[in-house]
Structure 1
């Protein structure tokens, strides 16, 4: 019996003669980006999951060098396609419940989540997922099953560039002091206690916080959690220093003035749902936050989503945001490689 031959080129497998570029073409976003590399098929019929399985090391090296890889133009349009791509990646897929929850996060299926439930009229500023945690999420992926009619981009910034361009005195202070996130969990505002800790009991939450180096305080119907972390970290693989935090995201200076004044009058500085301080508990001046936010806006890179796009980003070397959009937007995320980060004490 003659066995059917496998078309190695179409399946994504490589023969001894074929190389990485035989099946796909790789180019910088817009022809000049150092941050986002685009990988597109050179021929029809390539199975992206199969291609990834045979080129995982090269993909990882590319992500560590540039920060973001965008797969575009492959036959990947359904949720099942995105799940198959994620399953083919050479990293451990993580459940979001391994971390505390600071924003609404809806599970689609195992290890797969809706990217965001923030209203489409609002933007989301740059951040690295779970940067306040004692554990890194080393990588994050985005799959676009349905692209919006307009907007909805996920702009990226290179955290290494933000660090390099930062005012030297600002950088030095954060290097020494780190940052502190103070969160007051209110039952009627934002993510409540139950959703923050994924339905854990009080005893389980206390054990979780001890393991995560989170200071936990009970104040009647309000729970206060305090994280103190390094603001500048050394990448666990590349050894590069990177700006890795939510400082410009959660500081009260990031709020519109009217919202900020209203919330301060209601909760006071100590009762704000989220606020950021230096790691020693001293106040970060507003002008420092504006300086960082301006840098991130200046150095952002973005692209319009196309249905079927799949993006992998190094979550330590990059930050991402989201712009407002119109129409339906169906985006899924995965988190990869939960690894313990070094402990930090402010100087």
Structure 2
């Protein structure tokens, strides 16, 4: 759903007044785009996000908090720091972890001079189009994500898990099913076994819900794959994913997943002050390459937690 305010109404109170309509649209359409509203800068964006969510979340280690400098907001993040000439592939935010947001908001402070569209792909349609045997194998086995934290590459393990020591890391994540392989304090791998699809019983819905295209080496851009290949074996890349029993996901399956997500995608060009609200349970999101000085901020809310009754337990 796309909503335009020709009179530039303040966004946060408008969302509060129409929350029932917005909640319904998030399940029918998977997203709501607010255009030509008076957002009110970062502070107003945070207020709008708080109006659209029951609770905001500020402890997500994969995005840097935008809590420094003028107009700082405690619950607002910078967008993914990724080269602008490369596409960010489809993913459901934090689906590779134990907890994830059910709602995610994006605020366009400055659009790209060219490109940079938001991309969304409906996980319900993806399930309808993927081969039945592929879906059954993912349901049966689930996934194992392996994140190798090498100092100076990507977020540090301290930042990602919000801890200060290896002892604190073990205490925090071992009870949740994470496995830690410590090579050194500057080089460690964390593995987590979880779902590939999400069951949402209250809506009698199943959705494709994962980060395969962000973690599988076969989904990497050629230049990134070549760069990493100079330093690591493919099974030692900073991010990898396999089936829950440790077996590899075939290359041709990754290509099929990429193709189907792309076929199910919509592209949303951005304008200054656009706010995009996404149902993260249903919609994988990404970003097209761009030129210029694109500036986007992010808010996360209404966290969910991996539970066997909700997502299915990998065999």
TM-score by length of 2: 0.90
Q: Output the CA distance in 1 between the equivalents of 2:124 and 2:168.
A: 37
CA contact (8 A) 2:46 2:299 kept: no
CA distance 1:327–1:256, change in 2 (3 Å):
closer
Secondary structure of 2:267's partner? coil
Match of 1:40 in 2: 4
Match of 1:70 in 2: 33
Q: Output the CA distance in 2 between the equivalents of 1:287 and 1:93.
A: 38
Task: Give the aligned CA root-mean-square deviation in angstroms.
Answer: 2.0
Q: Output the CA distance in 2 between the equivalents of 1:211 and 1:302.
A: 40
- 1:84 equivalenced with 2:47 (yes/no): yes
Match of 2:155 in 1: 191
- 1:329 equivalenced with 2:291 (yes/no): no
Q: What is the 5 A alignment of 1:249-260?
A: 249-257=214-222, 259-260=224-225
Q: CA deviation at 1:50?
A: 1.5
Match of 2:274 in 1: 309
CA distance 1:294–1:145, change in 2 (3 Å):
same
Q: Output the CA distance in 1 between the equivalents of 2:98 and 2:109.
A: 32
Match of 2:77 in 1: 113
Q: Output the CA distance in 2 between the equivalents of 1:50 and 1:330.
A: 24
Secondary structure of 1:302's partner? strand
Match of 2:198 in 1: 233
User: Which is bigger in relative contact order (C-alpha 8 A, separation at least 6)?
Assistant: 2
Offset from partner CA, 1:35-90 (integer Å, 9 cap, x none): xx111226x25332222112212211110111010011212363233223123224
Match of 1:138 in 2: 102
Q: Paired residue for 1:267, among 211, 223, 232?
A: 232
Q: What is the 5 A alignment of 1:157-306?
A: 157-220=121-184, 221-235=186-200, 237-257=202-222, 259-260=224-225, 263-264=228-229, 266-306=231-271
Q: Output the CA distance in 1 between the equivalents of 2:53 and 2:158.
A: 33
The structure with the larger Rg is 1
Q: Output the CA distance in 2 between the equivalents of 1:65 and 1:200.
A: 42
**Runs of 4+ that moved beyond 4 A:** none
- 1:319 equivalenced with 2:278 (yes/no): no
Q: What is the 5 A alignment of 1:148-163?
A: 148-163=112-127
Q: CA deviation at 1:282?
A: 0.5
Q: CA deviation at 1:157?
A: 0.5
Q: CA deviation at 1:172?
A: 0.9
The answer for unaligned runs of 5 or more in structure 1 is: 1-36
The answer for unaligned runs of 5 or more in structure 2 is: 68-72
